[in-house]
Amino acid sequence: MSAELLSPAGDFETALAAFDAGADAVYCGLADFSARAFAKNLSFEDLGNLVRFAHAKGKKVYVTFNTLVDEVDVESAVETLSRLEEIGPDALIVQDLGIARLCRRHFPALALHASTQLVAHNLEGVLALKDVGFTRVVLARELSLAEIASISKRCGGLELECFIHGALCYSISGLCLFGAMEKGRSGNRGKCPYCCRMGYGQPVNPYIFSMKDLRLGEDVRKLVDAGVVSLKIEGRMKSALYVAAVTKFYRQILDSRGGKRVTLADLETIFSRRTTELYLDGKGKESPIDPESLGHLGAPIGTVKRVTKDREGRRWLRFHTARALEVHDGLQFDTMAEGRHLGLGIREMRPAISRTPVFEVAAGTDVEIELPEDFPIREGENVYCSMSNAVKRMFPAPSFRPSDYPGNVKIDIEVAVAADSISAAANGVMASISGAFDSAKNPEKTYGAVEKAFSKLGETNYALGKLSLVDPDRRFAPMSVLNDLRRDLVERLDEAREKARRAKVEAALADDELVSGLSAGRAAAKRLKIRVGQTVPAGEWDEIIVAVTSSTSDVEVGAFDASTTRLALPVYTAEPDFNKLRVFVKRLHREGFEKWEASDLATLRLLKAAGVSDITADWTLYAFNSHALAELSSLGVKRFVASPENVRENLSYLAESGYDIEFLAQQATPLFVSLTKPAAEQADGLAIYRRDNLYVTTRPVPRTFDAPAGAPTRIDLSWNPPE
């Protein structure tokens, strides 16, 4: 069984490099609505050219449209979707359920892949995404091989995609609010400020949330055997060299491709943190966190033997190199400053024996490298090659000319030659040029001339399909007229396509089913959410929501009145535990608990299957716009909790939307929600605790929020740190 090798492309050149190195597909983003807003990203023109190139080579292009969308941005999103449908990528990678709905209803040519931001971590979540139109799901990174294999066997043929290499987030993807709440830069909108890479007040090993990089290496074959159809390399912020080298490394593993091989050490000269396989084996052999250092380290090549000075006062570093080196290569060392390894570029180099300057030395050489004045280095310190010009030369930049590749829209053209005009028609559009056209001296050459003219679709978005010639009187068609006719036809085709695109945009923006079935008004209410074991504060509460798990005991649940209590399901339930949760819900529903709250699509699907009709959605279902609200409403959600990530303008929209929305008044908002234990249990100004087999990071003092006047509110104590 083979699997697709999927590579990142932060720009057009990187995409070409990935394909050249053996990628079957690339994923890339536009300037807006991409979870890597600070990558170079592609223009519409670049994307169109890339799709042309890829399809001509039998390869694929996926576009990341994987951010949450506020209502004010819906019009721009619709405009972008309409242009993407014209360009014709092989799929969109989507997080926002409103965007998925828009595509299904108005841009059905766009296939949908569910982003890892949708937190698909069990079979129920995968099936729920299939139900709403996704053809592929990017699974949560935290899954084990056994969980992936179990989901693959039972997901009904839905395609599964898994990350195999690259940077890891500390928080479960889609459940990180640290950037949004603390820095005003939302990871859910592609502007992550990398809070998990920051130091948190520890005198030693301060990077308590900083993850090692994922590197599965040869174990990618296990994912293929488990039924994964796409193996994904992370790195849209990385260089073309990095992407090409990592792609070739995995291409070699997957199909033993010949040619000069890329070694693990070669990869480490380009970019290398310490690495992990995360939870592939089910429990993790060691912590996936590296609290000591950040960023690039390099390939280990030796140990400092000594540092000397020559007669001219220049300092020289001597070590035995395990790797060939040349002038201008980069070196790094164990010595660190502000979390980064100190390094230098090789300015002058000589064998230790002859001490004659050379441009390059072979592996196995005792070598001396000139050191800058006052460069701190110690005997016994490890030496790493952090940049290799030899590796760079392995990946020359590929070239591209748009005119070498056919357009994305194949058109059948009929050309008719008459005494007073020549016309061309395609896709219901016609262009015509009047004139006097005499009989041809060599009529057998007319078709060839027409074919030559109409094959010159060059840098347009069209490719010639079937060509028909209607020439009953066998007349002469001048090449200049045919060329003008082709240009006129292309212009008219463009106008027709633009008119059709605008009509689609207007239909999407005028969707008349967005507010169907809404209640006329919502009374203000005051609701409370707690977790089992917390005390209900004094006061008048219109409803109490209690967070439960499958391990919540009968005694704990029995403390609450079924007629007035809503039970809220957990935000993350591992695949092996989900059937236990299903049994728990069915039993309590039979015992009279009719009000429930879903935390994700998996729990929403579970509640519906259990026959629950009174379902609310917590903020983790991220309904930021009218289309997302309509989608979740169609799935059975009666009431929504606005995300703490909302900006004031969007809160105002939600309050006036006609949907039943309640707004947070107080919450110890979770900044990180993770399966991974941090490197320290305390951090400067943060509270870290264990909840439902997850590690939660928040502030010790709950936040307060300004809810829209007169709107229903919620005080959420369920994320408060234990007292």
What CATH number is given to the structural domain containing 75? 3.20.20.70
Q: Over the stretch 277-326, which tens digit does the pLDDT of each residue have? A: 999 999 777 899 999 888 899 999 999 999 999 989 999 999 999 999 99
Q: Are residues 501 and 558 in the same domain?
A: no
Mean pLDDT of 185-213: 92
Q: Is 44 among the domain residues?
A: yes
User: Do 24 and 157 share a domain, yes or no?
Assistant: yes
Residue 238 within a domain = yes
CA–CA separation, 454 vs 486, rounded Å? 6
The residue among 121, 238, 232 whose CA lies nearest residue 172 is 121
Q: Does residue 517 belong to any structural domain of this protein?
A: no
DSSP conformation class of 530: E
**Final residue of a domain: which of 478, 509, 540?**
509
Task: For residues 50 and 48, give the distance between their C-alpha atoms in angstroms, rounded to a whole number.
Answer: 5
| 271 within a domain of the structure (yes/no) | no
Q: Is the pLDDT of residue 516 over 70?
A: no
Please give the pLDDT value at position 258.
58
Domain count, the chain: 4
Q: Is residue 419 located within the same domain as residue 387?
A: no
Residue 636: give its domain's CATH number: 3.20.20
227/113 same-domain check: yes
Residues 381 and 493 in one domain: no
Paired tokens of 142: 């935290």
What percentage of the chain reaches a pLDDT higher than 70?
A: 98
Indicate whether 385 belongs to any domain: yes
Tracing tokens 């290496």 back to the chain, one arrives at 217
Average pLDDT taken over every residue of the chain = 94
Strand 672-674 relative to strand 694-698: parallel, antiparallel, unpaired? Answer: antiparallel
284 within domain boundaries? no
Q: Whole-angstrom Cα distance, residue 499 to residue 513?
A: 24
Q: What's residue 1's pLDDT?
A: 62
For residues 502 and 538, state if they share a domain.
no
Task: Examine residue 279 and state whether it is found in any structural domain, yes or no.
Answer: no
pLDDT at residue 518 is higher than 60: no
Closest to 703 measured CA to CA, from 672, 670, 669, 673: 669
Question: What is the structure's pLDDT at 507?
Answer: 94
Q: Which two tokens stand for residue 608?
A: 């519906």
Same domain, 531 and 499: no
- Look-up of token digits 């929209």: 653
pLDDT for the residue 34 = 83
- Cα dihedral 565, 566, 571, 576 sign: positive
Domain boundaries, position 545: 526-716
Q: In what order do the strands lie in the sheet with 409-417?
A: 429-434, 421-426, 409-417, 462-470
pLDDT at residue 284, as a whole number: 73
Calpha distance 449→453 (Å, rounded): 6
Residue 416's Cα: distance from chain center in Å? 49
The closest alpha carbon to 616, from 634, 599, 593, 631, belongs to 599
CATH number at residue 381: 2.40.30.10
Q: How would residue 39 be classed by pLDDT, with cut points 50, 70 and 90?
A: confident
Beta bridge partners of 421: 434
* Residue 204: predicted pLDDT: 87
Rounded average pLDDT over 68-83: 97
Spell 241-258 as b/e; 16+ CB within 10 A means b. Answer: bbbbbbbbbbbbbbeeee
Give the pLDDT confidence score for residue 520 in this predicted structure. 45
Q: What is the pTM (predicted TM-score) of this model?
A: 0.95
pLDDT score at 595 = 97
Helix or strand (DSSP H, E) at 137: strand 136-138
Residues 543 and 670 in one domain: yes
> What pLDDT is recorded for position 257?
60
**Residue of higher predicted confidence among 555 and 519:** 555
Same domain? For 557 and 481 the reply is no
CA distance 607 to 611: 7
Among residues 534, 622, 660, 635, which one has the least CA distance to residue 115? 622
The torsion angles phi and psi of 653, rounded to 5 degrees, stand at -60, -50
662 and 548 in a common domain: yes
Task: State both tokens at 494.
Answer: 């463009």
Examine the domain organization and report whether 370 and 415 are in the same domain: no
Q: Is residue 230 a contact partner of residue 136, using CB atoms and an 8 Å limit?
A: yes
Question: Residue 704: phi, psi to the nearest 5?
Answer: -115, 150
For residues 414 and 389, membership in a common domain is answered with no
Which residue is associated with the tokens 């010595």?
Answer: 335
Position 531 pLDDT exceeds 90 = yes
585 is a domain residue? yes
Tokens read off for 408: 């994305």
Residue 197 per-residue DSSP state:
G
Domain boundary residue, one of 365, 393, 421? 393
Which among 325, 358, 393 is the end of a domain? 393
Query: Could you give the maximum distance between any two Cα atoms of the chain, in Å?
Result: 101
Q: How many angstroms separate the Cα of 549 from the Cα of each of 171, 532, 590?
A: 20, 9, 17
